[in-house]
Amino acid sequence: MNDHSADRQKGAGMTELDVAGQVVELVRRLAGPQAQAEVVANRFELALTRFANSFIHQNVAESAIGVRLRLHVDGRTAAGSGSVATPDGLRALVERTLTAARLGPPDPAWPGLIPPSAVPPAGDWDEATAHADPDERAAPVRAFVDAVGGLEAAGYCRTAHRSGAFANSAGHSARGRSTEAAMDGIARTGGADGVARLCADRLAALDGAALGARAAAKARAAADPVELPPGRYEVVLEPAAVADLLQNLAWYGFNGKRYAERQSFAEPGVAQFDPAVTLVDDPLHGSALPYDPEGTARRALTLVDGGVTRAMAHDRRSGAQAGTGSTGHGGPGSTTFGPLPHNLRLLATHGDGGPAAGVPVADVGAVADPDTAALAAGVKRGLLVSDFWYTRVLDPKRLVITGLTRNGVWLVEDAVPTRAVRDFRFTESYPRALGPGAVLGLGRRPVRQPDRVDGVWWEAPPVRLAAWNFTGGASG
């Protein structure tokens, strides 16, 4: 074992709270008692099983500890991070962060440190997910591949767990841990793809066979698509497509920094959305540490209630400027990009969620699950959309987005999906599409969609909207 490996072994014996506390003590010794420091120490294990051409081709895993220090001294602020939790490694982190702070510009908007305060307990912890091995991730992959019935399958199954701690020089500390599992797979026949995704708190909740059967049915139903002219169509968006709406609304609309800079569409107190829309950022509904990187307790935050915009996400800096305080949305990039909701839920309807009473639900199992089918049963002529991708912001103030459909689009006529349609490009204002009178129905069953980053997810039922602006084919 080399010296560097030996140092890592010495650091591995400390808890995350030990590490954070050592950094705070080092700041007191090296920068003096007036320096303000906040420290996050996370130990994480991320594992990914990838498959393509219906075979597992890669298993990758990462196990590490990360330490992040933010330091405010002599009116200046700097942040640094490291991954060597040894006495020498932690001292080096403090020294280089202190040097950066002394060279930086004054920071008159520094919000100070959070004082000692209560932090809720973390969500469910699943030992089986935390310590899942490649064979255990291979089981849902095998089930997915078997269920596609000979179609080409590709995707991933991942597991992750984090244990972390926070400490600052004001005496506040917090601890937590979380687990997560996710699966994202496609089935392909010819040039048609079908997709199925799910994010959960535990690996056992991933039903690879059900996901594979769903992806395969959609791929077969998407074969031989026709081309339709661009225009405004009534749409039923499946949860994967709705997830893109939630992400962009969260990052560009309910971002407290962008709101302060007048770059957000949001107007608190105004009925900007349909009454069916209630949006809640709810990190403890799924796997997340119970505090943010500034030590603020995370909690459910209602951003839209019955169509009325109610709140913005804030870190300590933007919350102090707004006079509201932090909502638990601090992060390493929040000073620059702004505080971001990462766990947004569109709450499912508690009513019928589909067509009017007495309207039959078409047998469209090859294209849509029963929840989506109930919404499609109310459509005279429109489109059923599986997924959006490659979305980009054209107008941040109105949140006009352009992007592409993928993984299946179908023409719905008289409540029945009649034929597959070629992919479209669209250009649409997301707040307008969800505006008053625009939401014709919500499904009953929300589905949590994974993000590329563990700990980030978007949960929504299918949604029926009065209009969506398709501007051309995917090729132009």
Residue 193 shares a structural domain with residue 335: no
Cα gap 336→77, rounded to integer Å: 13
Q: Are 83 and 62 in contact, with CB atoms under 8 Å apart? A: no
Cα gap 144→149, rounded to integer Å: 9
Q: Which of 161, 184, 217 is the last residue of a domain?
A: 217
Beta strand 457-460 with 343-346: parallel, antiparallel or unpaired? Answer: parallel
Q: The domain that contains 157 carries what CATH number?
A: 3.30.2290.10
Cβ atoms within 10 Å, residue 391: 16
Q: Are 68 and 38 in contact, with CB atoms under 8 Å apart? A: no
Cβ atoms within 10 Å, residue 254: 30
Residue 381 shares a structural domain with residue 232: yes
CA-closest candidate to residue 317, choices 474, 110, 164:
110
Task: Fill in the DSSP letter of residue 264.
Answer: -
Structure tokens at 176: 């937590």
Any idea which residue has 């019928």 for tokens? 352
Q: Can you tell me whether residue 260 is helix, strand or coil?
A: helix
Residue 239 shares a structural domain with residue 341: yes
Structure tokens at 19: 């590490």
Cα gap 253→387, rounded to integer Å: 21
Residue 169 shares a structural domain with residue 308: no
* 113 to 92, 173, 293, 320: CA distances (angstroms): 23, 11, 11, 12
**Residue 325 structural domain:** 224-473
Q: Are 327 and 257 in contact, with CB atoms under 8 Å apart? A: no
Residue 355 shares a structural domain with residue 337: yes
* 413 to 225, 239, 433, 461: CA distances (angstroms): 15, 21, 21, 22
Task: Fill in the DSSP letter of residue 191.
Answer: T
Please give the sequence-ordered ranges of beta strands (E in DSSP) within 142-213, or none if there are none.
Answer: 152-168, 173-189, 192-200
Residues 6+ apart with CB under 8 A from 313: 250, 254, 255, 256, 281, 301, 303, 327, 329, 339, 340, 341
Structure confidence at residue 84 (pLDDT)? 92
Residue 312 shares a structural domain with residue 389: yes
Q: Are 317 and 109 in contact, with CB atoms under 8 Å apart? A: yes
Residue 102 shares a structural domain with residue 134: yes
Residue 155 shares a structural domain with residue 60: yes
Structure tokens at 387: 């997924």
Q: Can you tell me whether residue 360 is helix, strand or coil?
A: coil
Q: Are 404 and 440 in contact, with CB atoms under 8 Å apart? A: no
Structure confidence at residue 207 (pLDDT)? 97
Residue 126 shares a structural domain with residue 259: no
Cβ atoms within 10 Å, residue 295: 28
Any idea which residue has 């010495």 for tokens? 10
Cα gap 205→281, rounded to integer Å: 22
Structure confidence at residue 358 (pLDDT)? 30
The series of mean pLDDT values per 10 residues for the chain, 476 residues long, is 37 83 97 96 96 97 95 96 94 97 95 95 85 97 97 97 96 95 95 94 96 96 94 97 97 96 97 98 89 96 98 97 95 91 88 35 59 94 97 96 96 94 97 98 95 90 98 80
Cβ-based burial of 210 (10 A; exposed 0-12, middle 13-18, buried ≥19): middle
End-to-end CA distance of the chain: 57
Q: Where are the alpha helices (DSSP H) in 32-171?
A: 87-103, 127-130, 134-147
Residue 278 shares a structural domain with residue 398: yes
Q: Can you tell me whether residue 385 is helix, strand or coil?
A: strand
Q: Which of 189, 217, 245 is the last residue of a domain?
A: 217
Q: Which of 164, 192, 217 is the last residue of a domain?
A: 217
Cα gap 446→102, rounded to integer Å: 49
R_g of the chain computed on alpha carbons: 24
Task: Fill in the DSSP letter of residue 249.
Answer: I
> Residue 437, by phi and psi: left (phi above 0), alpha (psi -120 to 50) or beta?
left
Q: How many domains, in total, are found in the chain?
A: 2
* 401 to 71, 185, 280, 469: CA distances (angstroms): 38, 26, 22, 10
Residue 234 shares a structural domain with residue 207: no
Residue 20 shares a structural domain with residue 164: yes
Structure confidence at residue 123 (pLDDT)? 66
